[in-house]
Chain A
Amino acid sequence: QQQVRQSPQSLTVWEGETAILNCSYEDSTFDYFPWYWQFPRESPALLIAIRPVSNKKEDGRFTIFFNKREKKLSLHITDSQPGDSATYFCAASPTSGGNYKPTFGKGTSLVVHP
Chain B
Amino acid sequence: ETAVFQTPNYHVTQVGNEVSFNCKQTLGHDTMYWYKQDSKKLLKIMFSYNNKQLIVNETVPRRFSPQSSDKAHLNLRIKSVEPEDSAVYLCASSPDWGDTLYFGAGTRLSVL
**17 A-B pairs in the complex with CB atoms less than 8 angstroms apart:** A31-B98, A34-B100, A43-B103, A43-B104, A43-B105, A44-B43, A49-B100, A89-B43, A93-B97, A93-B98, A95-B98, A100-B48, A101-B45, A101-B56, A104-B43, A107-B41, A107-B42
**Cβ-based interface call for B50 (8 A):** yes
Number of interface residues of A (CB under 8 A): 25
Beyond the given A46-B100, A100-B50, could you list 9 further A-B residue pairs with CB under 8 A, ordered by the A residue number? A32-B98, A42-B105, A43-B103, A44-B101, A100-B55, A101-B48, A101-B56, A106-B41, A106-B42
**Cβ-based interface call for B66 (8 A):** no
Instruction: Give the distance in Å from the alpha carbon of A96 to the alpha carbon of B97 in the complex.
Output: 8
Instruction: Give the distance in Å from the alpha carbon of A87 to the alpha carbon of B99 in the complex.
Output: 21
Q: Closest Cβ of chain B: how far from A100's Cβ, in Å?
A: 5
B97 & A100 in contact (Cβ 8 Å cutoff): yes
The number of chain B residues touching the other chain, given as a range, is 20 to 34
Q: Which residues of A contact B100 (CB under 8 A)?
A: 34, 46, 49
Residue numbers of A with Cβ under 8 A of B are 31-32, 34, 36, 38, 42-46, 49, 87, 89, 91, 93-96, 100-104, 106-107
Residue numbers of B with Cβ under 8 A of A are 31, 33, 40-43, 45, 48, 50, 55-56, 58, 90, 94, 96-106
Q: Which residues of A contact B106 (CB under 8 A)?
A: 43
Q: Which residues of A contact B97 (CB under 8 A)?
A: 93-96, 100
Q: Closest Cβ of chain B: how far from A47's Cβ, in Å?
A: 10
Complex partner residue of B103 from A31, A45, A49, A93, CB under 8 angstroms: A45
